[in-house]
Structure 1
């Protein structure tokens, strides 16, 4: 299984975590993820196209022989049956990261998330300062050093 297949599977699982789907819908998602039409997928499962159509529309449930056969194609049968992704489908480094995260204290989890989120592209930061006179200043970007701004001029001489 290559990284593209894993990314597609994780994307499918993440997309459906909060949405109720039927067994037939999940089976169809897996078929499409693998890039097969109903006839090709049915042949791999040892059934006819019409049976595949019935599985996907929910009028018929697949048997264990069919599920075992399509599993050899890379179908995540746990996902098809329950809607949850097979944890074994993660690459070893991601599985290790997940295992260690689950064992970590709340403080360590917060630090790990902060490090991962901090590595993201910074949001655009913009500050505008205006005074009562015709002066304007615009700062764009991340402000990382302490700064002082003096707005106005010197006192008038008498």
Structure 2
């Protein structure tokens, strides 16, 4: 395992949820100091930590391998399904505009 890359992806996931190091550490059963060392690549998280944060929604496959866990289509809500259908019917330029708009909203929400 490349702990530096794992640490970077772990930080990405933490930020995606809007958690600080202490909050994610608590979810994983470790203190903020350990969480920081995981993210810096100074330590490698163990299976019990990874299992605990996976239960909280963290994409552990992504953290470990860099590959996102695919979401089964049947897990989409009705709203999500309709949104994907609309997205697929848009022109490429409209999809790009929508993508930038969604990114702007996501960045505002995470701050």
Aligned length: 79
> Which runs of 5 or more residues in structure 2 are unaligned?
77-87, 94-111
Pair 1:92-2:62 in alignment:
no
Look up the match of 2:18.
35
Cα offset, 1:93, TM superposition: 7.4
Give the structure, 1 or 2, with the largest relative contact order (CA under 8 Å, sep 6 or more): 2
| Backbone CA RMSD of aligned residues | 2.1
Relative to structure 1, is the Cα distance of residues 90 and 29 closer, same or farther in structure 2, using a 3 angstrom cutoff? farther
Ranges in structure 1 where 5+ consecutive residues have no aligned partner: 1-20, 95-115, 124-158
What TM-score do you get using the length of structure 1 for normalisation?
0.46
Higher helix proportion (structure 1 or 2): 2
Runs of 4+ displaced beyond 4 Å: none
* Cα distance in 2 for residues equivalent to 1:91 and 1:120: 20
Q: Name which of 47, 68, 71 aligns with 2:54.
A: 71
Specify which structure has the higher proportion of strand.
1
The structure having more radius of gyration, on CA atoms, is: 1
